[in-house]
């Protein structure tokens, strides 16, 4: 037999094997149903993980117990975990599988300070002065875990090629853990990324988010006795006041999409000493990075002017900046189909009563729980106020966002009402739905190459040649926090 014949036979055998393999694999519909079953089978585990994170209620960069628990479950289920990534002890990347495509799933688990709350439908502090999951990140972490576990089992059993990467992302609420993870290139090899967030509505989220600059402005003056020889002093507080006055005048001359907000973090010690040091913590947001940059320039001029006028000197420290979210409509449509295929959540009378009680307590309309699946919205040029570090990922790889109903409708966010909903069946139902939608969407990306090609095309078009640049300097280290012994 000639060499060419042998080659032909091998090729034929390979094609036949491929065909048999594809035929032996269940249909995509069957695989998706299997994924839903796999999430349901693990519902108890996911609720337990969610409740544990809720009880730990660890704030930004102190999520030691929370990340440890997630890692434990992932390793037990066969994921390989890289710990302490991007210089953060509570950040990790858990991987399963091999080769392309590589699909990322984001998990968050940090709580908010001062929001400790019992699981009651009225305000009741659980631990005095403690933290609480006022943004539902306990559900976020456990829901993403659920998607990763269900996918892993399915891929293993059906020999589906590709890699899942679950990103343990700390400190969303404070320093923005993903900012450091993005700067250090942790998302660079992804073909796409999927995230979700608890909400009081169920929708594929194409609202986008605002770009932001986070800065600290310091003034240095001269101290003097405020009554005996004030002419010898130069007040750093005066400079802060002139800066805030200038900023408040500036508000009239910026686009309506701009948001500027600040707190005075240092303004002197006592009234009889002219303050020689004062500090302002300021955030500037707009719909685009460019918009933020323009306002920032004006703020810098105001700071300079305030320093000249008060005889002080100034320093601006840029703490970080986020991009606006780059929405990927192609992938969002795929996610929408999966959300509609799974269907909206239903509730029992007790759950609705619980929701109404929370609404009554928070002075919002007693509409109960709204779980109907919203139609895919048209992305707006000017997103609603708010920023997230998920946006950083969206400039590195096509990123999809989902919101599911985890709380009563319309309740104030970052409040006790979200904390209590996040340890309730209302929250659990939203979390399990999110796990199912993310898993089925990831499966589409693993099995249908065309979707990824189209998503990447849209992504490239929207980048317009821009290459992601991190908003933090290359040598800036995350501010590591050490847990006090008593708090462990």
Identify which range of 21-29, 135-143, 393-401, 473-481 contacts Zn ion by CB under 5 A: 135-143
Helix and strand element counts for the chain (H, E): 14, 11
For residue 259, the 8-state DSSP code is E
Residue (135 or 451) nearer to Zn ion, CB: 135
**Is 355 among the residues that bind Zn ion (CB under 5 A)?**
no
Instruction: Rule CB under 5 A: say whether 135 interacts with Zn ion.
Output: yes
Stretch that binds Zn ion, among 10-18, 66-74, 128-136, 161-169 (CB under 5 A): 128-136
Q: Among residues 209 and 243, whose Cβ is nearest to Zn ion?
A: 209
Nearer to Zn ion, 47 or 135 (CB): 135
CA angle 301, 323, 296 (to 5 degrees): 5
Q: Tell me whether residue 113 or residue 305 sits nearer to Zn ion (CB atom).
A: 113
Least distance to Zn ion, CB of residue 144, Å = 13
Quick one: which segment of 1-9, 110-118, 134-142, 472-480 binds Zn ion (CB under 5 A)? 134-142
The smaller minimum CB distance to Zn ion, of residues 53 and 455, is found at 53
What is the maximum span of the chain, computed from C-alpha positions, in angstroms?
109
- The least CB distance from residue 414 to Zn ion, in Å, is 8
Work out how close the CB of 172 gets to Zn ion at its nearest, in angstroms, rounded to a whole number: 6
Q: How far is the CB of 475 from Zn ion (least distance, A)?
A: 28
Please identify the residue of the shown chain whose CB is closest to the bound Zn ion: 135
Residue 34 neighbours by CB under 8 Å, 6+ apart: 26, 154
Residue with tokens 């169920």: 202
Q: Is the dihedral of CA 407, 409, 410, 416 positive or negative?
A: negative
Query: Smaller CB distance to Zn ion: residue 135 or 182?
Result: 135
Residues in 39-68 at the binding interface with Zn ion, rule: CB under 5 A: none
The residue among 176 and 478 lying less far from Zn ion, judged by its C-beta, is 176
Beta carbon nearer to Zn ion, 144 or 163:
144
Across-strand partners of 193?
104, 399
Using left for φ > 0, alpha for ψ between -120 and 50, and beta otherwise, residue 148 falls in alpha
| Number of residues in contact with Zn ion under rule CB under 5 A | 1
Judging by beta carbons within 10 Å of its beta carbon (0-12, 13-18, 19+), is residue 11 exposed, middle or buried? exposed
Q: Of the ranges 40-48, 133-141, 163-171, 310-318, which one interacts with Zn ion (CB under 5 A)?
A: 133-141
User: Interface with Zn ion by CB under 5 A: which range of 12-20, 123-131, 132-140, 224-232?
Assistant: 132-140
The single residue listed with the structure tokens 């189209």 is: 454
Q: How far is the CB of 89 from Zn ion (least distance, A)?
A: 21
> What gap in Å lies between CA 417 and CA 141, rounded to an integer?
19
Q: What is d(CA 285, CA 151) in angstroms, rounded to the nearest whole number?
A: 37
Residue keyed to tokens 């707009």: 286
Q: Where is 97: in which H helix or E strand?
A: strand 92-98
Binding site for Zn ion (CB under 5 A): 135
């Amino acid at each position: 037999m000639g060499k060419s014949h042998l080659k032909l036979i091998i090729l034929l055998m390979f094609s036949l094997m491929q065909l048999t393999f594809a035929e032996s694999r269940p249909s995509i519909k069957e695989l998706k149903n299997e994924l839903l079953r796999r999430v349901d089978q693990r519902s108890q585990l996911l609720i337990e993980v969610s409740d544990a994170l809720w009880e730990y209620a660890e704030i930004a960069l102190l999520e030691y117990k929370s990340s440890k628990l997630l890692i434990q479950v992932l390793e037990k289920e066969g994921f390989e975990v890289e710990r302490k990534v991007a210089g953060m002890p509570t950040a990790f990347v858990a991987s399963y599988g091999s080769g392309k495509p590589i699909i990322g799933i984001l998990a968050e688990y940090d709580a908010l300070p001062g929001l400790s709350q019992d699981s009651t439908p009225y305000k009741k502090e659980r631990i005095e002065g403690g933290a609480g999951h006022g943004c539902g990140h306990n559900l976020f972490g456990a829901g993403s875990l659920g998607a990763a576990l269900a996918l892993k089992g399915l891929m293993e059993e059906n020999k589906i090629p590709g890699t899942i990467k679950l990103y343990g992302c700390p400190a969303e609420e404070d320093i923005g853990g993903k900012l450091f993870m993005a700067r250090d290139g942790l998302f660079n090899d992804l073909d796409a990324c999927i995230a979700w967030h608890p909400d009081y509505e169920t929708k594929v989220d194409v609202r986008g988010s605002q770009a932001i600059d986070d800065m600290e402005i310091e003034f240095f003056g001269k101290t003097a006795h405020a009554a005996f020889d004030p002419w010898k002093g130069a007040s750093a507080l005066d400079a802060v006041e002139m800066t805030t006055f200038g900023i408040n005048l500036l508000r009239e001359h910026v686009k309506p999409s701009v948001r500027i907000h600040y707190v005075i973090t240092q303004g002197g010690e006592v009234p009889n000493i002219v303050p020689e040091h004062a500090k302002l913590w300021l955030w500037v947001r707009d719909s685009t990075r460019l918009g933020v940059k323009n306002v920032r320039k004006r703020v810098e001029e105001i700071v300079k002017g305030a320093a000249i006028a008060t005889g002080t000197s100034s320093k601006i420290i840029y703490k970080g900046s986020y991009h606006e979210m780059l929405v990927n409509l192609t992938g969002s449509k795929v996610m929408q189909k999966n959300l509609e295929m799974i269907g909206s959540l239903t509730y029992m009378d007790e759950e609705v009563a619980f929701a109404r009680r929370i609404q009554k307590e928070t002075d919002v309309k007693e509409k109960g729980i709204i779980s109907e699946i919203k139609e895919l919205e048209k992305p707006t040029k000017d997103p609603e106020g708010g920023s997230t570090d998920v946006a950083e990922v969206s400039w590195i790889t096509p990123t999809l966002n989902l919101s599911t109903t985890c709380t009563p409708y319309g309740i104030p966010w970052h409040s006790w009402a979200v904390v209590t909903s996040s340890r309730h069946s209302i929250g659990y139902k939203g979390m399990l739905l999110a796990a199912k939608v993310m898993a089925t969407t990831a499966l589409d990306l693993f099995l249908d190459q065309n979707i990824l090609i189209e998503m990447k095309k849209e992504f490239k078009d929207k980048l317009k040649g821009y290459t992601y640049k991190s908003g933090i300097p290359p040598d800036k280290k995350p501010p590591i926090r050490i847990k006090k012994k008593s708090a462990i």
